[in-house]
Structure 1
């Protein structure tokens, strides 16, 4: 089996569609007017010294939070000015989310287990007040660099008194060594006094950090459990306004993939690799339903009316349980041996349609849960790509659906594709689509 990298994929990949959503006339969805857009057509482009890796938009669309390593840049989407840079984490941030109905409150979490300096450190969750952070004196982008340079200069002078002369380049190198340590000390100082929790937020596969009302937050106690082991994984649900009040849910083992509430917060679901899916009463901690799949499980979601709960396992099976029928299995859309993981789902507001994203050739499914049938399917193709025949099969797993989400009241379905870094939007009512692509990959 030849090796193949993401850089090689980007050089070889050419956008093509094997199967697409079809109109009522049986034709593939055409592009809307101005429906072919690409990088360079965006409303605003922002640049940073380091690569942002996570983002969150407030419920009212006024603020954008971008995680850049262990800092969070909060941006005003009206002016595109940076309001403040939140410093408090000493490891790379792996979750960030605005509180529903409160655009001035933000929560974030770091992941020390991947930090070479402190891999055994407990992960830290911080609850931020953006207004309080704005009121503080903010550090300029080069503030700590100038402190590090000044410290290096002093060391250079002291060494010179000992007849150890460092040239300008050596002193600059010394400043570069000092800067991470200074930044770490300053960050720890700035984190002092903020509301914090020792635990891990679950941010994968559209997991809910906050309850729909924003009154509660859920997280894993302590460190992330070891994957594929019988490692206890307890969940804590607490009041955002009083972090001392909460409920602990016990029973899960192995890594937690997803959890979240139904719309009225009377039910809470948790999905894990331990082969189980659990439905809880979040007020009492009582386990109402336990579903066993004997496979790793990836994600889940309640229908808007709470009638159904949908989940996907490691065999690409989409299972739908009826909450109205005491948790009975309503339908299984079975995965095939050739299918890869399906790890993203989204309910339509009509409570009947479910969008599902797969990781092979950008698979996108639209299922009718009531009629128990497949309505639409999108599948990308490697036929137009320039890779050699021996790597074409491998290319199919390099392009997949990262996230699906119904937007605009259910009129549109947005699809984020990894591999070619594109976004596509399907207008279900008008039966047209848009594509936002990397410029080199813009289809003709």
Structure 2
């Protein structure tokens, strides 16, 4: 089995199978591509590697990223640091901007720390106000002994509710005396109203660690996927559990995503005995399709019209298929020397930026964007001078206009799309 350093030394980036246009034409390089990291339009130097994926506001004006136990906030256009948010109990591991602003024009930012290192987790909610000066106005709204969801989870609903998880230990048993926990000590999804600073719902039912909490585009439903092998669908208004999917065949569940076009369609990823993605119908309770993979996937994305769903799975591969039938539409794959190399070339940060534009990244840092409507492809990868001995912890973040790629040296590289 190879390690990360050996993988980085051997990895060539050769592609075996590429996406093409709907008519079957291969995509051509966008002007100036492929690009190396040294060609970034702009860079932000953090001082040391971040453990959190950066977050962009919906207008691409501000960027937040964890740096140690603080959060640094930058103006994207100028790369100037607007402020530092202190007071988190451990290394910051996740940051999420809300899509909506508060009544007084503030931007919501949710932060969690202390999850991956096994310490007491903490979620802190901030409001940020940028008045155009170099000084950011920041207020700490609330703090909870909890965590945000992982693997594509939402931190906010369209209604402005904060979504977080408490009591999220990885087993329902106490290690010391093996006593089954009481219901109120089991993993719980919380909806917290930012405007009134009150808890709207505590959603209980899972008996093992919740990995992902996703929200439908209309905000009417939430879904949680957990290691107990079940995915639960919740009514956001009443807090009622509408449907429980699983256990499918004994495996843990890792991530979930609603179709943007149909809140009845939910994709769920499973691990063990092998990777699978299930597409389920909430209204009927039926599984529409199941697509098998050799290994698990933690990155799911729907095409905006709901006609296709994609995931990063198997050695160095991204698959796109019809959710109703499971029939594969297209796939993208690296050319790798052996299976060991493949298991370390896992896709992540997968998303559709526009109806026909798909973006993704691999563990070692290379980012790809395929614009199938314009028949163009983009690549952002390490150059000879970008030596790394390990994979970046933080993933790329992108919008319809920007790509931001972190590295292991604490540099964020910014390109325009």
| TM-score under structure 1 length normalisation | 0.76
Task: Flag the structure with larger Rg.
Answer: 1
Native 8 Å contact 1:14 1:441 kept in 2: no
Aligned pair 1:205/2:161, yes or no?
A: no
Q: Which position in structure 1 is the counterpart of 2:350?
A: 404
Change (3 A) 1:44 1:242: same
Q: Larger RCO: Structure 1 or Structure 2 (Cα < 8 Å, ≥ 6 residues apart)?
A: 2
Find the aligned partners of 2:123 and 2:245 in 1 and give their Cα distance.
30
Superposition RMSD on alpha carbons, in Å? 2.7
Cα distance in 2 for partners of 1:85, 1:34 equals 35
Task: In structure 2, list runs of 5 or more residues that go unmatched.
Answer: 174-179, 387-417
CA 1:26–1:235 in 2, change beyond 3 Å: closer, same or farther? Answer: closer
Q: Structure 1 pair 136/432, CA: closer, same or farther in 2 (3 Å)?
A: closer
Identify which of 371, 380, 386 aligns with 1:427: 371
Gaps in structure 1 of 5+ consecutive residues: 139-189, 384-391
Match of 1:301 in 2: 257
Q: Is the 8 A contact 1:93 1:110 kept in 2?
A: yes
Judged with a 3 Å threshold, the aligned counterparts in structure 2 of structure 1 residues 6 and 332 are, in CA distance, closer, same or farther, namely same
Is the 1:415–1:425 Cα contact (8 Å) retained in structure 2? yes
Higher strand fraction (1 or 2) = 2
Q: State the match for 1:368 in structure 2.
A: 322
1:283-335 per-residue CA deviation (whole Å, 9 max, x = no partner) reads 22211101112211111111112131111111321111123x42221111233
TM-aligned CA deviation for residue 352 of structure 1: 0.8
Matched residue count:
365
Three-state SS of the structure 2 residue aligned to 1:219 is: strand
The aligned residue for residue 220 of structure 1 is 165
Deviation of 1:60 (Å): 1.3
Structure 1's 256 and 135: CA in aligned 2 closer, same or farther, altered over 3 A? farther
SS in 2 for 1:207: coil
The answer to whether the 8 Å contact 1:86/1:133 transfers is: no
Q: For 1:308 and 1:113, how far apart are their aligned partners in 2?
A: 31
State the alpha-carbon separation in 2 of the partners of residues 364 and 44 from structure 1: 29
Match of residue 407 from structure 2: none
Find 1:257's aligned residue among 196, 204, 211. 211
How far is the alpha carbon of 1:106 from its aligned partner? 1.0
Structure 1 residue runs of 4 or more that deviate by more than 4 Å after TM superposition = 23-28, 132-138, 227-231
Instruction: For 2:116 and 2:213, locate their aligned partners in 1 and report how far apart those are by CA, in whole Å.
Output: 22
Partner of 1:125: 123
Which aligned pairs between 1:33-182 and structure 2 lie closer than 5 A? 33-54=31-52, 55-102=54-101, 104-111=107-114, 114=117, 119=119, 122-131=120-129
